[in-house]
Amino acid sequence: MRVKLIGILVSLLVFGAVASAQSVIYNAPTTDTVEKGQVYVEGVFSAKFKDYSQGGFQQYGFRAVYGLDRRTEIGANFYVTRDGSGDLPREAQFNFKRNVYRNEKHGVSVSGGALVNVPLTKSAGSRPTSIIYGIASKSFGRTGTRVTGGMYRAIARKRDFGKMWGFTAGIEQKLTKRISLIGDYFSGNNRYG
């Protein structure tokens, strides 16, 4: 199960991943796309440090993204979740993103994309779900700040998914050349927010 964001998640990135093009801030998509022929790989660990009976979990995985051209990327993610259920829920995700507008002089960018979640074990769910989204970002060069926001629409069976649409928001703030403070948010009462 993906991390359900209730408030703004804030993480400290020590290895400077925010400085290079990336597919997501933490969970919410960015407007960045990986350059043509380049590969971006990221290890992921998320946790809620509570008893499993109170919703605690640990999630391990990776994200891999490939640049088809300078504005289009495709990717695959894989996650294993330890939640005390005995069976480790496993899930694959496939994504596509296209940057439709980029103005580096003004620090503005707009992208759209899709993400498909495919459960690999019964404990991860029984039906694939997906979202389509549109996002925009604005960078402020002197402060090293970038804000991102957009909307998403889920494509799933309504009766077992929850709210079918929502918004995303994110902020990235450079503290030093290699350290950034990041946070993102998914709204909606469903598996994304």
* Per-residue pLDDT reduced to its tens digit, 32-61: 999 999 999 999 898 888 888 888 889 899
Q: What is the pLDDT of residue 8?
A: 27
Higher local confidence (pLDDT), 186 or 36 = 36
Distances (CA, A) of 40 to 44, 66, 188: 13, 7, 29
CA atoms lying within 13 Å on the CB side of residue 192: 31
Q: What whole-number distance in Å separates Cα of residue 106 and Cα of residue 2? A: 34
pTM, two decimals, is 0.79
Residue 87, Cβ density class (10 Å: 0-12 exposed, 13-18 middle, ≥19 buried): exposed
147 pLDDT exceeds 90?
yes
Q: What is the pLDDT of residue 1?
A: 34
Sequence-ordered strand ranges (E) for the chain: 9-13, 39-48, 57-69, 72-82, 90-103, 108-119, 129-140, 145-155, 165-174, 180-186
